[in-house]
Amino acid sequence: MSFRLLCFMTGLLCCLNSASVHAESAADAISSVQPKVVKIFGAGGLKNLANYGSGMIVSPDGHIVTVWNHLLDSDVVSIVLSDGRRFYGRVIGTDSKKDVAVLKIDAAGLPFFDINQTSQVGPGAAILAFSNVFKVATGDEPVTVLQGVVSAKTELAARRGRYRVPYDGDVYLVDAVTNNPGAAGGALTTIDGRLLGMLGRELKGNNNTWLNYAIPMSELKQSIEDIIAGRFSRKNDLLASSNSTKERIYKSSDFGFFVVPDVVARTPAYIDSVVEETKAEELGLLPDDLIVFANGELIHSVKVYNEVLGQLIAGDDLQLIVRRGDNLITVTFIVPRD
């Protein structure tokens, strides 16, 4: 046997052995991770707004991490575990700057990801992505698992407008098609099941191509711990800017429109009227448009919308995403200085 042939056969044998170990490791990881991933069903149902998503259990007594998005625009959401058990989950806190939310269900003894024992990897690392993409699982069916490779770890550079998110830190970009409807909030792990990050929502990059990415757990860990410990809440996040140091509190009329009166709890933030020859009219806002997001904040009510206005400082942008029928429309104002 020639030396060249011997080297080829030796290399082939090593590759086959490596592939066998790789497959065995992935199989073990899938068995270990599946019970830690949940299916989430909540608000949605409009065109391009799915009413389902994914989450990760991060404590044995029912704390669940997911992406902060429209699914949570209700008092409770439905959580389905890998064994088919269903629970009502309540939002206990969110950090809009990190695009993360923590839910709680009344359960105990659950398999969970220990966020104190997560990993970090670089380009070329093999990964697995777990999520309820396209709502393939509604009961005890396993969630979808995709295999891929980390392409890069870099700052998120996503298209503004409808797909804009407040998070602008580091992400893992992967070569698998991970970020489709229902995937947001799912788990990205190493090939042997160590948690790397949380799958993000559907976004387009600056080159107008869809991004497949996950937010590293190192970026989320502190917020998750603070929310669970009660040191951080959605209200605190909204009111992070102290109004006592502001020169003025802005109102919708400063931008050329009015919203409906805040007369009952959780009054939807509908636009009541638009003033002629103002920026609001120029941007095409209309009466009965429903404000869904304001500067990345999910708007549950007129009260929440007014709290967002209360954070504005002269010269800031005010970006609104409004729903008109089945369409979402984005407009951006510059906060006036006088």
The 10s digit of each residue's pLDDT in 121-147 is 999 999 999 999 998 888 999 999 999
Predicted confidence band of residue 179 (pLDDT cuts 50, 70, 90): confident
pLDDT at 273: 94
The 10s digit of each residue's pLDDT in 220-231 is 999 999 999 988
The 10s digit of each residue's pLDDT in 36-91 is 999 999 866 554 567 899 999 999 999 999 998 777 776 678 999 999 999 999 99
Q: Give the type of residue at 104.
A: K
pLDDT at 49: 64
Hunting for tokens 């005890």 — which residue is that? Answer: 140
Predicted confidence band of residue 8 (pLDDT cuts 50, 70, 90): very low
Collect all residues with Cβ–Cβ distance below 8 Å to 54 and sequence separation of at least 6: 37, 38, 39, 40, 66, 130, 131, 132, 133, 143, 182, 183, 184, 185, 186, 187, 199
Give the mean pLDDT of the chain: 83
Predicted confidence band of residue 322 (pLDDT cuts 50, 70, 90): very high
What are the structural domains of the chain? 34-231 (2.40.10.120), 239-334 (2.30.42.10)
Collect all residues with Cβ–Cβ distance below 8 Å to 61 and sequence separation of at least 6: 107, 108, 110
pLDDT at 233: 53
pLDDT at 102: 94
CA 19 to chain centre: 33
| Tokens standing for residue 256 | 């050329």
Spatial separation of the C-alpha atoms in residues 320 and 315, rounded to whole Å: 16
| Tokens standing for residue 328 | 């979402």
| Tokens standing for residue 26 | 């992935």
Kindly list the distances between the CA atom of residue 261 and the CA atoms of 21, 250, 256, in Å, as whole numbers in the listed order.
Answer: 64, 16, 16
Residue 326 has pLDDT above 90, yes or no: no
Hunting for tokens 């065109």 — which residue is that? Answer: 47
| Phi, psi (degrees; rounded to nearest 5) at 203 | -135, 155
Q: Give the type of residue at 46.
A: L
**What value does the mean pLDDT take over residues 101-128?**
95
pLDDT at 9: 41
Residue 109 has pLDDT above 90, yes or no: yes
The 10s digit of each residue's pLDDT in 20-49 is 546 667 889 999 999 999 999 986 655 456
Collect all residues with Cβ–Cβ distance below 8 Å to 21 and sequence separation of at least 6: none
**What value does the mean pLDDT take over residues 210-227?**
93
pLDDT at 161: 41
Q: Reading across the β-sheet that carries 290-294, which strands appear in turn? A: 297-298, 290-294, 317-324, 327-334
The secondary structure of 265-306 as a DSSP string is TT---BEEEE-TTSHHHHTT--TTPEEEEETTEE--SHHHHH
Spatial separation of the C-alpha atoms in residues 174 and 151, rounded to whole Å: 5
The 10s digit of each residue's pLDDT in 242-292 is 444 445 788 999 999 999 988 777 889 999 999 999 999 999 999 999 999
Nearest one of 146, 96, 63 to 304, comparing CA atoms: 96
pLDDT at 225: 95
**What value does the mean pLDDT take over residues 165-183?**
87
Core vs surface per residue 228-249: b (16+ CB within 10 A) or e: beeebbbeebbeeeeeeeeeee
Collect all residues with Cβ–Cβ distance below 8 Å to 160 and sequence separation of at least 6: 319, 330
Residue 3 has pLDDT above 60, yes or no: no
**What value does the mean pLDDT take over residues 155-165?**
57
Query: Residue 172: which H helix or E strand, with range?
Result: strand 170-174
